[in-house]
Amino acid sequence: MQNGNKKLYIETLGCAMNVRDSEHIIAELTQKENFEITDEADKADLILINTCSVREKPVHKLFSEIGAFNKIKKEDAKIGVCGCTASHLGAEILKKAPSVSFVLGARNVSKITKAIKEEKFVDVDINYDESEYAFGEFRSSKYKAYINISIGCDKKCTYCIVPHTRGEEISIPPSIIINEVKRAVSNGVKEIFLLGQNVNNYGARFSDKTIKKMDFSDLLEMVSEVEGVERIRFTSPHPLYMDDKFLKLFATNPKICKSMHMPLQSGSSEVLKRMKRGYTKEWFLDRALKLREMVKDVHISTDVIVAFPGESDKDFEDTLDVVKKVRFEQMFSFKYSPRPLTKAAEFKEQIPNDIASKRLKTLQDLHTSIIDEISLKQKGKTFSVLFEELKSGGMIAGRSDNNFMIQAKGSEEYLGKIVDVFITNPKRMVLYGEIVE
Ligand code: SAH
Ligand code: SF4
Ligand code: F3S
């Protein structure tokens, strides 16, 4: 990275795609505009907030944050708002918060060098195609590389704002992805993390019509053939596209980490229909249980929304039932949050907040008891772990192939290495163990 005399402070909210967008922004500004990164907002010449708008809370937070930055920033420092909230609020942000200098949508990140030079620049075009834009290289992790494989999302689940902030789905050409993989491993990266809102729909649409038809399984195979790639992860796959070909490749390719995100959203087929998820409770259970059968020690994570409009007690029971049957190793759960531009926000029978809170607590309590049992069962097992981080007390931390957070006694020499760890003391969030030499 070039050292410059201007300082950039960037805050990243939301999902892994935003993390990657922030890396792209940093690459553009440090390589083309002489910025360097700072973690002190009061010393920055440019403060960027890379926003998420998937639920209402982070959107509210944005305006209080702008206010807080405004108080501490250097007098001539600029504040810019990027990401998904930028996409859906656009110029309204400038009206509501006049201290903001520019607004750049989640699909317009490549225009960051332009945005910083123009007064009150706004570009939130969700039809803009940056699927073939060649960004500079910046990675926040030495050992793990996030790589985008598609932009946007075509699914239009009725609760979700993402298709309105990131636009229609376009797959990034395989040649660009493979070059990025090669560049990352030549810089010492061990783990490739493929990103998209709907990764296993890869290949549905390329901008360049001459690209040969291919699907996500084909892409996974191409990535796994790159010399130096040791681990492959991806997020988010959609349960609807988990066909037998995909599950078989997942089960048998040794480089693909045995950790699958299966966003359930609801266990009720009726609710799933109104969410427009495209699968039923039975399909989801069939896929998840088949995965358990095919892959020993597979780690399945999920996302669940409670209190979607019209969700009855019986519907909620179905969600609990799926959670009991699949016994997810990790669960992210949310109260339904009505979002602008989405169909579900117009649905009648919005669920009162007290019921939503109660359901969320019931679900989370159930899941906590499940993960406590799962954690205990890991005692005496050996996992291969990529160590990434030094912790206090002479400990190091990393993730097992199947995505458990693991800590062991060890020093810097293990960072970036994949080693076996024997689990001696499993806890809810972290499995503690010993390195097997
Ligand atoms: N493409 C991913 C999801 C991205 S959004 C997928 O389909 O799995 C991440 C998660 O936020 C979703 O899985 C969902 O559980 C949650 N979410 C999205 N919109 C929401 C809303 N309106 N209210 C509450 N949670 C929501
Ligand atoms: Fe949203 Fe559905 Fe697309 Fe996921 S698949 S980003 S939940 S519309
Ligand atoms: Fe949030 Fe946009 Fe990601 S809404 S979850 S940052 S796609």
Ligand 3, closest atom to CA 197? 7
Q: Which residues line ligand 2 (CB under 6 A)?
A: 153, 155-157, 160, 162-163, 197-198, 238
Nearest-10 Cα torsion for 65, 70, 74, 77: 80
Ligand nearest the Cα of residue 235 is 1
What pLDDT, on the 0 to 100 scale, is given for residue 57? 83
Ligand 2, closest atom to CA 236? 4
Q: Please give the order of strands across the beta sheet that includes 259-261.
A: 259-261, 299-306, 330-335
**Residue 1's pLDDT band (boundaries 50, 70, 90)?**
very low
Grouping H, G, I as helix, E, B as strand and the rest as coil, residue 7 is strand
Q: Which of 15, 53, 54 has most ligand 1 atoms within 8 Å of its beta carbon, as the pocket-test mutant? A: 54
Q: From the CA of 315, how far away is ligand 1's center (Å)?
A: 18
Nearest-angstrom CA–CA distance, 188 and 166: 31
Nearest-angstrom CA–CA distance, 420 and 406: 11
Contact (Cβ atoms closer than 8 angstroms) between residue 211 and residue 205: no
Place of tokens 């400990």: 395
Average pLDDT for residues 253-277, to the nearest whole number?
Answer: 98
Q: What is the largest CA-CA distance in the chain?
A: 61
Residue 375 clears pLDDT 50, i.e. is over it: yes
Nearest-angstrom CA–CA distance, 358 and 306: 10
Q: From the CA of 416, how far away is ligand 1's center (Å)?
A: 32
Residues 379-423 have pLDDT tens digits of: 999 999 999 999 999 999 999 999 999 999 999 999 999 999 999
Give the helix ranges, DSSP H, for 158-214.
162-166, 174-186
Ligand nearest the Cα of residue 163 is 2
Q: From the CA of 52, how far away is ligand 3's center (Å)?
A: 5
Give the helix ranges, DSSP H, for 276-328.
281-294, 313-326
Residues 217-254 have pLDDT tens digits of: 999 999 999 999 999 999 999 999 999 999 999 999 99
Q: From the CA of 267, how far away is ligand 1's center (Å)?
A: 15
What pLDDT, on the 0 to 100 scale, is given for residue 3? 52
Domains within the chain, CATH numbers bracketed: 6-123 (3.40.50.12160), 130-257 (3.30.750.210), 260-377 (3.30.750.200), 382-435 (2.40.50.140)
What pLDDT, on the 0 to 100 scale, is given for residue 408? 98
Residue 333 clears pLDDT 60, i.e. is over it: yes
Token pair recorded at residue 181:
């993989």
- List, as one string, the DSSP characters of 222-268: HHHTSTT--EEEEE---GGG--HHHHHHHHH-TTB-SEEE---B-S-
Rounded to two decimals, the pTM is: 0.96
Q: From the CA of 160, how far away is ligand 1's center (Å)?
A: 6
Q: Which of 55, 153, 216, 303 has most ligand 1 atoms within 8 Å of its beta carbon, as the pocket-test mutant? A: 303
Radius of gyration of the chain (CA): 22
Nearest-angstrom CA–CA distance, 104 and 219: 30
Nearest-angstrom CA–CA distance, 48 and 12: 8
Residue 4 clears pLDDT 80, i.e. is over it: no
